[in-house]
A and B are shown apart, each in its own frame.
Chain A
Amino acid sequence: MKKLIGLVIKDILKNKVILIYTLFLAAFGWSVFGLESSTAKGALSLFNIILLSVPLVSIIFANIYIYNSKEFIELLVSQPIKRSTIWNSIFIGLLIAINLAFLIGIGIPVMVFTPDTIGFSVILTGLFIGSIFTSLAMMSSIIAKDKARGIGVSIMIWLFLSLIYDGLLLFFMFQFSDYPIEKLMVLFSSLNPIDLARIQMLLQIDVSALMGYTGAIFKKFFGNFYGYLITIGLLMVWIIVPYLISLRKFNKKDL
């Protein structure tokens, strides 16, 4: 397994896309703090960029990589290696590469400018989001047969989780604003990993007071230690479940 992970990482690093991605993140990471007056504001702007770009790049890059490794997978399956070992190695290799790019690109500037809990949460949520969308890419690439469809499904997942879901949530909130839906809002927001990450971040920098009653409910639910644990737990579920679905499918797939 170690050998295979090594091969996958070596193969990914040969790919220039991951280097460009690292440079892109680094460019944002170093410039945003220079543009904003306070480091907390800088961290928040950076966080918004991360929430938009990291999911998209992770899911598309991982998806394309998996489709391009088709031959590699076919070759390995005829050798005495378990299918789950092959799939695990690809997943772990991708996780390491994508998160390493993030750590180098964003982690270093954040640690230089805001080496505190805010900076730490920016990095942690970025790592979670990258891992979640890699896991979703594993799932979409096994569900869709060809590359074009797989990338289509990936873009739909990204679009849904980062834009459409929030739109629907807002629509729902305005339609039912006369009813006590705050608790439901907590539930619905926690079903979307991007929302979860955003809420956790907003609570860290204490702007939830600006969000009115819902913000107070959010603060009450997510702001304490258990809320933090629940958030981490839910984000873990978002990494593990799509991956396990893909692994199950891969074990039964005709290659």
Chain B
Amino acid sequence: MIELRDISKNFGLTHALNHVNLKLGGEQCIGLIGPNACGKTTMIKSILSIVVPTKGDILIEGKSIKNDVSYKAAIGYMPQIGRYPENMTIGQVVDMIKSIRNSHEPLDEELWRAFELEGMKDKKMHTLSGGTIQKVSATIAFMFNPKILILDEPTAGLDPLASEILRDKIKKERKNGKLIMITSHLLNELNDVLSHIVFMEEGKIVFYKDIESLLEETGQPSISKAISHLLKNLKA
């Protein structure tokens, strides 16, 4: 469903993405993993055309994203740091997105209820804590039943209870046949969520594997152990 063809992105002299080719599809929950500054967020932002790649093309469901924005209706995106108009309330932000999306499908308000946002509806965005902003971001990402979910560090900043709710929701949506892409450093939290791993390093994709073969090849019991094992080997 998502295909990256020879994507490169330069910020001045740094190559954030370096000839990335990747094809993701089906009911997968992909963990996008790599050391800091390896290009994970840039890749996600390129898919959403928040960042415009220097070279290459991205196809969503077979269509190039270059001159058509309608594909974004099929994507729910939760940014790493949600940034919202400061003097709008939670309710206004959600209503605005609803009216922009103008979706006639029934809305998925499960997270809205689970995070108890109804009671905070009239709070302004600039008064919210980082965790609450994350909750709003997650709610918006899941609200329109998108086929593709892109979650950038979803559980960072959430309290254990909220991150439990979010993890359960991710698992549920995976069962509903959605393509989910997650970047995270908190690998222990994602052990039972992920089905595949994309490992990036310095703007390149090192490998794209399912969890079983990853654990088998490294001989480690968990994803986090396997990844740190790989990272050590990379440095050596």
Contacts and interface: CB of A to CB of B under 8 A. Distances in A.
Contact of B85 (A4, A11, A252, A253): A11
Interface string B68-81: 01111101010100
Interface in A34-90: 69-72, 74-83
A3 B85 CA distance: 16
Contacts of B87: 11, 14
Given A3-B100, A75-B83, A82 B69 contact: yes
Contacts of A83: 69
Nearest to B78: A78
B20 interface: no
Contacts of B99: 3
B72 A79 contact: yes
Contacts of A81: 69, 72, 100
Contact of A69 (B11, B79, B85): B85
Contacts, number: 57
A130 B11 CA distance: 36
A142 to B, nearest CB: 14
Interface in B181-212: none
B86 A80 contact: no
Interface residues of A, number: 23
Interface residues of B, number: 26
A255 B48 CA distance: 11
B96 A7 contact: yes
A80 B85 contact: no
B84 interface: yes
B83 A70 contact: yes
A82 B100 CA distance: 11
B236 interface: no
A80 B50 contact: no
Nearest to A254: B51
A70 B50 CA distance: 13
A4 B50 CA distance: 19
Interface string B12-54: 0000000000000000000000000000000001001111100
B101 interface: yes
Contacts of A79: 72, 97, 100-101
